[in-house]
Amino acid sequence: MWKNFDIHKFYKISLFILDAILIISSFYLSILLNSPRYPFVENYGYIIPIYLITIFFYIYFDFYKYKSLKFVKRFLLNNILTNIINFGLIAIVIFITPTGDKIIFINLFKYYILVHLFLFLIVRITLFSLFFRNLNKIQRLNKNAVILGINEDSKEFYSLREQVRLNNGLNIVGFIELNKTSKSKHKNIRFLGKLENILELSSKYNFKDVFLIDKKLKINKLINTIEYLRTNDFFVHTNNSNLRILQDINQYEVYGTEDKFIDFSIKRHFYKKYFKLLFDYIFSLLVLIIISPLFLLLAILIKSTSKGPLLFIGERIGLEKRKFNFLKFRSMKDDMKENIKIHKESIKSFYNSNNSGKIKEHASSQRVYRFGKFLRKFSLDELPQFINVLKGDMSTAGPRPCMEYETDYFKDWRKYRFDIKPGITGLWQAYGRSRVDFDKMSVLEYYYYSNCSFSLDLKILFDTIKVFILGIGGY
C-alpha cells in the first residue's frame, strides 16, 4: 500500500489544499466578524484574486519548501507582506474601475488580514508542522536516501540522520564512496558500495535521494557527478561551497540540520517541452500589447538622440547551437565592426578573470551613446526580444544567448546551456548581471538548466522586474 507513497509530494499537495482552505475560511470569518450585512454569496468574487495573488507570493517566498517550517519569523513577515500586496493590488483595481464596493472591501480586508495571520500561525505553521513531524515517525512512509562521499562533514551529517528523518521524511541508509578512500575511513559507518555501482545499489536499497557531501570537491567533478546522477533519475542534495552563489540568492533547502543544501531535480521534459512554451507565448503576447506605447516612445528617443537604425539585429547561438537573428533596441554607436572588435577583446577577460563583471562594464561604456546607457541600465534595450520569443527562438527565462565566437568558452558541463532555449532574463540577470564572474554565471545557468520549473520561472520574472526598476547591475 505504501510502496509508491511519496511523502514529499504529499507535503506540497497538502499545503496547497490547506492554503485554499485557510483563505476561504479566513474570508468567511472576516464576513462574520464584520457584519451580517455583507453576505458571503455576494462577495465571494474577492476570493479568486486573493487566492491567486497569495499562491503566487507563497511560491515566490518558498512557502512550499521545508525551510518554511524552520524559519518561522521570516515566513510570518512574508505572510503579512503578501496580504498587504493583496490589499494594495485589489484596492487599485476597485478604486480605478467601477468593479466592487470600496467600503465593503476595506471593512472585510482589515479583518481578513488579522484572521488569516492567526490561522496561518496556528494551523499552517504549528499544527501542520506537528502533523508532518508525527507522520515522518512512521518509518514505512519514509523515503530512503544515501550519502555520497566519505569525510568528516558527511559523517557528522549521518550522525544527525534522525533529525533529517523526522523533519523531512528521508531515511539515510548508508554511505556510497565518491573518491577512493582508505579502508580505515569505512570503519564505524554503513558502507554500501561505490559510485559506479549506484544503479544496482539503488535497486537493492530502494533509494532515489542522494546527499552529495564533499565541500572540497572541485566544480568540474561536482557538476559532472550531479549530471550523471540526474540523468539516472536521482534527486541530488549538495552543500558544496562552490555553489555558494545559489545559497546567497535563496535557492536552497534545509534537511533537519543547519546546513543549506542545493537541490538538483530529475529532468522535467513535460514542462520544458509543452507548458513552458505555452506560457512563453501567452506572456510575451500580453507584454507586447501592454508596452506598445513604451515601444513608440523609446523609438522616438533613440532616433532623436543617435544616428543609425532603431533596432540592433545580430546573430546569436540558441538551442542546440542553432543560429537566429537576435533583436534589441540599439544602445551602441552605429559602428558594427568596431563594436564587435571591442566585444571580442573584452570577452577574453570576461571569461578568464574573477572580476569579469567590471571588465564587461568598462568595455561596454566605450561603445554606448548617452541615451543607450539609460536603456542598458534599466534593460529597456532588451524589450524587442519578446518578438524573438513569439518566433520560437528564445524563452522568457533561460541562459543569455551568446555570439558564435563565444561558444568555445562553454566546454564540459557549461555546454548544457545549449540544451535549453536562451532567455530574455534568467538567474544571471535577476541576481547577478555585471556583478558576478564567469564561473558564478555558469553555475547559475547550470542550476536553471537542471531545475527549470514554473515556480522558478515565476521567481526569476518577478525578481527581474525589481532589478530592472532599480537598475541593479546594469551597464
What is the rounded radius of gyration, in angstroms, for the C-alpha atoms of the chain? 25
pLDDT at 453 over 80: yes
String of b and e for 343-356 (b: at least 16 CB within 10 Å)? beebbebbbeeeeb
Q: How many C-beta atoms surround the C-beta of residue 2 within 10 A?
A: 9
pLDDT at 63 over 80: yes
pLDDT at 370 over 90: no
Please tell me the predicted confidence (pLDDT) of residue 136.
Answer: 87
End-to-end Cα, the chain, rounded Å:
58
- C-alpha closest to that of 286 among 389, 423, 375, 424: 389
CB 23 within 8 A of CB 52: no
Report pLDDT digits (tens) over 102-139.
Answer: 777 777 788 889 999 999 999 998 999 899 888 888 88
Strands (E), 366-410: 395-397
The residue to which cell 499537495 is assigned: 13
CB 205 within 8 A of CB 174: yes
Q: What is the pLDDT confidence band of residue 469, given thresholds at 50, 70 and 90? A: confident
Q: What is the mean pLDDT of residues 388-405?
A: 93
CB 449 within 8 A of CB 418: no
Q: Where are the domains of the chain?
A: 7-136, 142-266, 270-470
CB 416 within 8 A of CB 449: yes
The rounded Cα 332 to chain-centroid distance in angstroms is 31
pLDDT at 470 over 80: no
Q: What is the mean pLDDT of residues 336-362?
A: 62
CB 399 within 8 A of CB 422: yes
Q: Residue 430 is placed in which grid cell? A: 535577476
CB 404 within 8 A of CB 423: no
**CA–CA gap between residue 421 and residue 415 (Å, rounded):** 13
Q: Residue 405 is placed in which grid cell? A: 565566437
Please tell me the predicted confidence (pLDDT) of residue 187.
Answer: 72
**CA–CA gap between residue 416 and residue 223 (Å, rounded):** 11
Report pLDDT digits (tens) over 209-254.
Answer: 999 998 889 999 999 999 999 999 999 999 988 898 898 888 889 8
Please tell me the predicted confidence (pLDDT) of residue 317.
Answer: 95
Please tell me the predicted confidence (pLDDT) of residue 394.
Answer: 96
Q: How many C-beta atoms surround the C-beta of residue 12 within 10 A?
A: 12
Instruction: Look at 323 and 471; give whichever has higher pLDDT.
Output: 323
Strands (E), 128-202: 143-148, 170-177, 191-194
- Provide CATH code, domain 142-266: 3.40.50.720
38-52, 215-229, 322-336, 427-441 — most confident range: 215-229
CB 452 within 8 A of CB 417: no
Please tell me the predicted confidence (pLDDT) of residue 186.
Answer: 66
Report pLDDT digits (tens) over 183-206.
Answer: 556 677 899 999 999 999 999 999
Q: How far apart, in Å, are the Cα atoms of 383 and each of 290, 299, 400, 451?
A: 12, 12, 14, 25
Report pLDDT digits (tens) over 146-187.
Answer: 999 998 899 999 999 999 999 899 999 999 998 776 555 667
* 3-state secondary structure (DSSP) of residue 239: coil
Please tell me the predicted confidence (pLDDT) of residue 337.
Answer: 63
Please tell me the predicted confidence (pLDDT) of residue 227.
Answer: 94
- Cross-strand pairs, 253: 261
Q: What is the mean pLDDT of residues 270-292?
A: 90
String of b and e for 21-37 (b: at least 16 CB within 10 Å)? ebbeebbbbbbeebeee
Q: How far apart, in Å, are the Cα atoms of 128 and each of 19, 64, 72, 131, 351?
A: 11, 12, 13, 5, 48
Please tell me the predicted confidence (pLDDT) of residue 473.
Answer: 54
Please tell me the predicted confidence (pLDDT) of residue 35.
Answer: 66
Q: Following DSSP, what letter does each residue of 13-46 receive, concatenated?
A: HHHHHHHHHHHHHHHHHHHHHH-TTS-HHHHGGG
The sign of the torsion formed by the CA atoms of 434, 436, 437, 438 equals negative
* 3-state secondary structure (DSSP) of residue 87: helix
- C-alpha closest to that of 1 among 109, 139, 140: 140
Instruction: Look at 343 and 66; give whichever has higher pLDDT.
Output: 66
Instruction: Look at 339 and 447; give whichever has higher pLDDT.
Output: 447
Q: Residue 218 is placed in which grid cell? A: 572541485
pLDDT at 3 over 60: no
